[in-house]
């Protein structure tokens, strides 16, 4: 069993991007600028945005954080988005999800200029992705493709099961894995909470991508020997033996599944770091596009 080390792979990608930024600086060119809007004080969101800002500093990007209180109105948030849309110095930006309940998430995502939508959530980018046209890929699926490619995992003709149908991971992942690409050309089945005999599908899978949102859901008796497992989930579970009082678990029961898997991502240190790395890669792409069009 080989661990798919997202932490190491994401660091490799950051080193590659940092080398590009060093060249830009040497040539007196503008470096990429990533902005993030955070509304409220959701702990996970604050941690994630903090990691993005830190990653920007590491590789030489300019970063801007717009920190808004949880009572911010939808109108004020949309005004902030429009300012970033109009700011030619900002190459790409994200609005951290989830948003407070009084704000319409879809309305907010649609307000972002698709050319600056480095999260890849705007309907224009989602549509272009489905049609296999140039676009910003959603960062988590993009990170999974990159992991599969860099570990030279054969996907062509393989039976891939994607567990979960979210717009952020499951659905785009199912589309991308079926397309003609290095990490693609697979036969893809999308399963979810209403799927009957779910284990019947997972036992036949060569590759399983798990984004179902239920901790330790996929067990060893649900997979075949030699399976490749990508675990997207992350949940805090109470654990009195830990100083923090909790441990982080994925959607995969790592102990039982890893005994059968040929490759598996750990949690933490698997898909999570890749998401941030691909957000940076999308920002670099946005900067290149803006230069080409200016």
Annotated catalytic residue 52: yes
Annotated catalytic residue 7: no
Which of 5, 14, 91, 96 is labelled catalytic?
Answer: 96
What distance lies between CA 254 and its chain's CA centroid?
21
Which of 119, 206, 231, 251 is labelled catalytic?
Answer: 119
Which of 52, 91, 206, 281 is labelled catalytic?
Answer: 52
C-alpha distance across the termini of the chain, in Å = 49
Annotated catalytic residue 12: no
The residues that are catalytic are: 52, 96, 119
């Amino acid at each position: 069993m080989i661990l798919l080390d997202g932490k190491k792979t994401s660091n490799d990608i950051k080193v590659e991007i940092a080398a590009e930024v060093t060249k830009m600086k040497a040539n007196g060119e503008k470096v990429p600028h990533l902005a993030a809007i955070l509304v409220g004080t959701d702990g996970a969101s604050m941690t994630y945005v903090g990691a993005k800002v830190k990653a920007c500093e590491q590789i030489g990007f300019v970063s801007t954080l717009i920190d808004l209180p949880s009572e911010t109105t939808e109108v004020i948030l949309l005004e902030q988005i429009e300012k970033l849309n109009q700011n030619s110095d900002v190459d790409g930006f994200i609005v951290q999800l989830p948003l407070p309940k009084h704000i319409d998430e879809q309305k907010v995502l649609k307000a972002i200029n698709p050319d600056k939508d480095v999260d890849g959530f705007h309907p224009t980018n989602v549509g272009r992705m489905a049609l296999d046209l140039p676009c910003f890929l959603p960062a988590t699926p993009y990170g999974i493709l990159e992991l599969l490619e860099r570990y030279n995992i054969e996907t062509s003709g393989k039976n891939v099961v994607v567990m979960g149908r979210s717009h952020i991971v499951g659905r785009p992942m199912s589309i991308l894995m079926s397309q003609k690409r290095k990490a693609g050309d697979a036969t893809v089945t999308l399963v979810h909470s209403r799927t009957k005999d779910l284990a019947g599908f997972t036992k036949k899978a060569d590759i399983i991508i798990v984004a179902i949102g239920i901790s330790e859901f996929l067990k060893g008796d649900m997979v075949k020997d030699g399976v490749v497992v990508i675990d997207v989930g992350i949940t805090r579970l109470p654990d009195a033996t830990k100083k923090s009082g909790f441990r982080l678990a994925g959607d995969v029961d790592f102990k039982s599944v890893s005994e059968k898997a040929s490759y598996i991502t750990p949690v933490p240190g698997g898909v999570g770091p890749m998401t941030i790395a691909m957000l940076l890669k999308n920002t670099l792409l946005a900067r290149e596009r803006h230069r080409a069009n200016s």
